[in-house]
Each structure stands twice: as structure tokens, then as C-alpha cells.
Amino acid sequence: MAHYKLAFLGFGNVGRALAELLLRKRVELAERYDITFSVTGIATARHGTVVQPAGVNLAAAIELLQTKRSLNLITKSLIANSFDFIYKCGADVLFENTPVNHQTGQPAVDHVRAALELGMHVCTANKGVVVHAYRELSELARSKGRKFLFESTVMDGAPIFSLFRETLPAARLLAFRGVLNSTTNIILTRMESGESFNQAVQYCQEIGIAETDPSADVDGWDAAIKVAALITVLMDTPFTPQQVERAGIRGISPQMIAAAKAEGERYKLVCSAEREGETIRARVAPERVPISSPLYAVEGSTSIVEFKTDVLGDLSIVETNPGPHTTAYGLLADFINAVRER
């Protein structure tokens, strides 16, 4: 039996869902994987920070935050900032879940680097880190004999990065194509039922999946950063979101949607990339897809990616009903994969 001390840097919806999942899977982790754990630190942005080497009562911490009280009620921890937290949390595994910074990946990149330098494994759902520092952080992790894993950055907890890393050894990814942004997919689906673009955006804001400023989704930036992450890791080629040819869905009118529908087609914000000789061409753009395409049936928050490799026919992964709990599962899977004996 191996014991691991865990720390949470960032403890929003995903962090709390992960904490609940860890509690639910505690017995299974011990019985199937010989893994036990304690939580030695939790840092939140607005509800305090706690560090307890003997182990935080995780259920009590979740309860405090659900009622919007501060973790400082558990114990008074003298923690100056996020880096001080990393140095003092004493963890074996850091879950880095601070907000995504699409432009620079900071400060998450520095958080991950600091934790790896200290000999921790790091699991993150933060796309910015992958796009801005995948190669450097992976090499640092390797040199330290630790793991830097990030399954939840694309398609939530559905296995994408681990699919290639673990189940498709020696496969070469030639191209991929998919629907990777749920907000735009919900907007397009609702416009098919007659809503205007603005009404559909407002709906997404009401159910909490679109921001007050929806431009990251509707202009294709979220999709482009996911495409860049897939290329960077799975094609082993550093690629920025700016390198992705990008068109959002603001130009898609109700008339265009109706015209497509009349011909048995639907608009989807399609993400794609392919090798062209030594270069890679990547694109995010609205496309009309016919009923024969696997992308046609992808509704609402469902996402899909089709992979073309040199060893199989097309292989598609489809995930329905994502949410904080599925992102949390990706982080749990990363943790187990980082430490388990095989």
C-alpha cells in the first residue's frame, strides 16, 4: 500500500467535484490500486487556504465552501500566496486548477514548474499550461521522475491524451476532426429551433456555460486552444491558438441555418488539423455537415473527435453529458496513472 499526500491549488466546482469523487472512490483506490491518500492543503481564491500536514478533513472543507465560509475556520495557516502554498503544502501530488489564462498560461505554468521542481506529480485541467509550456514541463517532469498529466483539458474526462499515450503506442496521428466547444454547439442547435443568435447566447449564459462576454466561445478561441493542445501533444509539435485558422459563428444567420436544414444538413463549429508534409494545417470554422457525417448527430454539449492514424481506420471518441464531475474524473485518472504500479 502506498500513501500519497494531495494538495488542491484552486478549489472551484471542479476541485470540489474531485474531492467528492476521491471520497467516493477511497475504498476502491485501496483495494484495486493499493493507493491511500490524505489531503495536506487546499488553496482557494476567495475562501481562504488551509495547510495541515496531518491531513485536512476533506468532507468538512467541502461543507465549509458549500456554505461560502472560509477554510481559515479549520486552522489559521500562514500562507502568503500560491507559491508559498506550493512550498508549504508538503504534497506528493498537486492538482493545479486555477483559472485558464489563454494568452500566457500564467500563473499556472509557474505553479506547475514550482511543484515539479519540488518533486511533486502535477495533474491539471488547465489548457493554458499545455498550450504554453507542454514540452518544457514534460521534460522537467521526466528529469524529476514525476508525471505532468492533463487529461481533462480537452473533452473533459474522456480519455484523449491517455488514449494515445497508453492504448495507441507507436501510432502516428495524421489528422483529426471534431466538435470540441459545447457553447457554440448549443447555440447552433437552438438556432435550428428558431432562436436568434442573441437569444441562444443568453440561454447559454443563463444555464451558466457561457461567460458574460461570450467571445472566447463564439469567436472560436476556446476551440482553437483545444486544437492547439491536441496538436502540441498528440502530434508532438508546439502550436499556438494563433496559428489555428479561425472563424467563429457570429456570421451564421438564421437564414443560413434554415437553408442547411432544408437540405438535410446542419452547421457545426468544426475543429480540424492535418499534416501536410512537414507542416500542420489547423482550422476552426463553421461548416455544413451532411447526415452521413458522425458530426451531424452531435447535439448540445456532446463532443466528438475523429482521429486518423497510420495504423487503424478512423477512430472516433464521443462524450455526452460532460460537467465538473467528468472533468474531476479526468484528474482522478491522471492521479492514478501517475502513481500506480503496472
By CB under 8 A, is residue 140 in contact with a second copy? no
Q: Does 142 bind a second copy (CB under 8 A)?
A: no
Binding residues for a second copy restricted to 267-306, rule: CB under 8 A: 291-294, 296-297, 306
Binding mask 145-164 for a second copy (x = CB under 8 A): -----------xxxx--xx-
Q: Shortest distance, CB of residue 329 to a second copy, whole angstroms?
A: 4
112, HSE (Cβ side, Cα atoms, 13 Å): 32
CB atoms within 10 A of CB 197: 19
The Cα–Cα gap between 59 and 106 comes to 30
Candidates 12, 20, 33, 261; binder of a second copy (CB under 8 A) is 33
- Which residue among 34, 166, 211, 245 contacts a second copy (CB under 8 A)? 166
Q: How many CB atoms lie within 10 A of CB 107?
A: 18
Distance of alpha carbon 146 from alpha carbon 96, whole angstroms: 15
Toward a second copy, which CB reaches closer, 29 or 112? 29
Ordered DSSP codes for 50-106: EE-TT---HHHHHHHHHTT--GGGT------SHHHHHHHS--SEEEE-PPP-TTT-T
Binding part of the chain for a second copy, among 88-96, 138-146, 196-204, 326-334 by CB under 8 A, reads: 326-334
Interaction of residue 319 with a second copy, rule CB under 8 A: yes
Judged by CB under 8 A, which of 143, 170, 212, 213 binds a second copy?
A: 170
3 state SS of 49: strand
**Of 21-29, 46-54, 180-188, 242-250, which part binds a second copy (CB under 8 A)?**
21-29
Q: Does the protein bind a second copy through residue 241 (CB under 8 A)? A: no
User: Which residues on neighbouring strands pair with residue 307, listed in sequence order?
Assistant: 176, 315
